[in-house]
Amino acid sequence: MIKYNSKTREFHLYNKYFSYIIGILDNEQLGQYYFGEKIRHKETFSHLFEKKQCETPVTPSLDGKGFTLDLIKQEYPVYGTGDYREPALTIFQENGSRIVNFIYKEHSITKGKKKIEGLPSIYVNDGENAETLEIILEDEVINTKLILSYTIIENYSALMRSVKIINNSNEVLNIEKIMSLSLDLPDTNYTMMQLSGAWGRERHVIEKPLTRGITLIDSQRGTSSAMNNPFVGLRRPNTTLDTGEIIGINLIYSGNFSSVVESDPYDTTRVNIGINHFDFNWELEPGEEFQSPEAVLVYSNDGINGMSLTFHNLYKNNLIRGKYKNNIRPILINNWEGTYFDFNEEKIIKMAESASELGIELFVLDDGWFGTRNDDFQGLGDWDVNLEKLPSGITGLAEKINKLGMKFGLWFEPEMVNKNSKLYEKHPDWIISAPNRHKTEARNQYFLDLSRPEVADYVYESVAKNLRSANIEYVKWDMNRTMTEIYSHGRSFKKQKETVHRYFLGLYSILERLVNNFPNVLFESCASGGNRFDAGMLHYMPQTWTSDDTDAVERLKIQYGTSMVYPIPSMGSHVSITPNHQTKRITSLDMRGNVAIFGTFGYELNPKDLSEKDREDVKKQIRMFKQFRELMAVGDFYKIKSPFDGTETAWAMISPDKKEALVGYYKVLVDVNGGFKRIKLFGLDKNLDYTVTKIGEKKLENIGGDELTNIGLFVGNVQGHGLPEGDYYTELYHIKNLL
């Protein structure tokens, strides 16, 4: 899959989906020749390189080699050498210079893929065909190596990229900027996609045509953030859900990131993604090395769904780990919206008994079980059970829950501390805060400084001691604020700009220890809802609470946008009470359930508050989900109608063998006296015949996959007299091969 032509000095990385071609230029730097749909391998691709002459006195040529860096497609551009576009790398040296020149020295092509130490990354499974190219560049003036790493796996239209710097000099180098990936494209005819929003409306799909200049998508908040996700897509203007060309880029990282899309005066496009260089600097001592996070570059000529399927399957199979990888998850109930802080053991047991009767399999005790935690002003950091609330302790409560036939789970927010806590009283310097400056609280709490090993060890042990004490099979790992006054009291002034990245190295080290030492625990990441829904966290925790907004109508957009990159089994999605606690909207139990089923599925309510009819309906809902849970764990998800294009949404989960599907259809606003409607499905086998069952009604037999694809599935409850279905209308369709 990786070929090197020593005569023409060209690299061709390819599989059945795409080709990626790099050349070593006359000046010994690297040029980007091509990235796109697979082309046949040839002895040379040199004719693809556009070598433009310098024709203007304001654009310098480099060393008289006959071309200008500002006009060519480069593989990993650096600062200050005649390319005025955004660089991928900036290094400040002891003499005050930022000028570097990394030129080709050697390369290696190996089978498989190395583990990136200390950072989450894609791995290769036994039996998978994968190859890795490492290109070693060197700047001889500062005696420093730059290693560009590329991994291609046979069955994915994806290229994994990362960068490492090794300081072999006798001076200290300051890395001011290091991107994990830079990509130059030959034109600007793209519509740019991003996943942006805010708390309660995370990862909305925003699209706009590329225009001259720079578009920045980033986070400076100490998280990947609800405001912008570390993803950027470039699709051709005529690309649809199922046809056309699109490029997707995602960073496997949970902290501050930057993605820059630049359209230059010569109608080429440059994309950079990596650690945000705002408030970042890394002092690289002699003999030290620095490793960037990994970026995933995806190409699809099968539309947006093709891109999403590549991300989904790569992350399900080669990023997520452990017992619950591609496995069904227990149906859970969380007590938070049912009780908030107002609970004791008796109330929790009664709630669990009621949940068990409904068929729920996992009870999760949320915030308020530890220390003096009766509100959000106190107790964070003191992870000892409150025996006044829970006289049997976590050990006894877990045993009682288990006797009901349910698993037991527990909420933690171990990255945080309240000022009113024993931990803060003992270690006030353990928080991220600047000397002699105001300490900004958010939700009445502060960040513990996980960049310090002693703090990371405390956080690990705080969680581990509880996991050792009881049969805890699920952990909800919360994080309810973003960073301010970023400063570490455990670090010299020269290294303060390393704090955020070192924080995440500390967090990742904690999570790595936990998932290795407690392999049977299902970990779910939460960050004030979906404030840290990223591929970095999925490497340790196979699911993430998608949003604190549990309203079914809002969740259509949130879950649709999230599915651009992240697989359905990774989305925490629950049925909550109505009126909804976030929006006050009233929706049917069917609507709430039919949205939540396309996720991990669970409940965020007190079942004792339900009417008898609702309790019976919840039982039916749970039985239905159990019927489809394996399909939801391993199936391929297809977006059919976007909630951003109107009042209808449709999507489907289809089994890998194309023999079974579950289709969800949702209409937010009623059409008065509307006509007949069909939605054309994607992903079915056109040569197979199916039965189509509208859940709760009779089935239709012998419907061809070609009919469902080309003519469509009849949806809606249109009757001869034209009675409308009403707002917030929903249907599920089960489609199954006849044989």
> Would you call 708 helix, strand, or coil by DSSP?
helix
> Would you call 34 helix, strand, or coil by DSSP?
strand
- Name the pairing type of β-strands 269-275 and 231-235: unpaired
Q: Which of 83, 548, 549, 636 is catalytic?
A: 548
139 is catalytic: no
Tokens 């809902």 map to which residue?
A: 621
Q: Which of 478, 534, 551, 590 is catalytic?
A: 478
Tokens 């919360």 map to which residue?
A: 478
Q: How far apart are CA 539 and CA 515, in angstroms?
A: 10
* Structure letter (DSSP) for residue 183: E
CB neighbour burial string for 454-483, b if at least 16 within 10 angstroms, e if fewer: ebbebbbebbeebbeebebbbbbbbbbbbb
| CB proximity list for 41: less than 8 A, separation 6 or greater | 3, 12, 14
Q: How far apart are CA 443 and CA 481, in angstroms?
A: 7
CA separation, residue 417 to residues 373, 445, 505 (Å): 11, 6, 19
* The 3-state secondary structure of 379-413, one letter per residue: CCCCCCECCCCCCCHHHHHHHHHHHCCCEEEEEEC
| 670 burial via Cβ count (<10 Å: 0-12, 13-18, 19+) | middle
Q: How far is CA 347 from the centre of its chain?
A: 36
187 is catalytic: no
Q: Where are the alpha helices (DSSP H) in 563-673?
A: 589-596, 612-634
Q: How far is CA 82 from the centre of its chain?
A: 36
Sign of CA dihedral 87, 93, 98, 102: negative
Q: Count CB neighbours of 627 within 10 A.
A: 12
Q: Where are the alpha helices (DSSP H) in 12-122?
A: none
Residues with a catalytic annotation lie at 478, 548
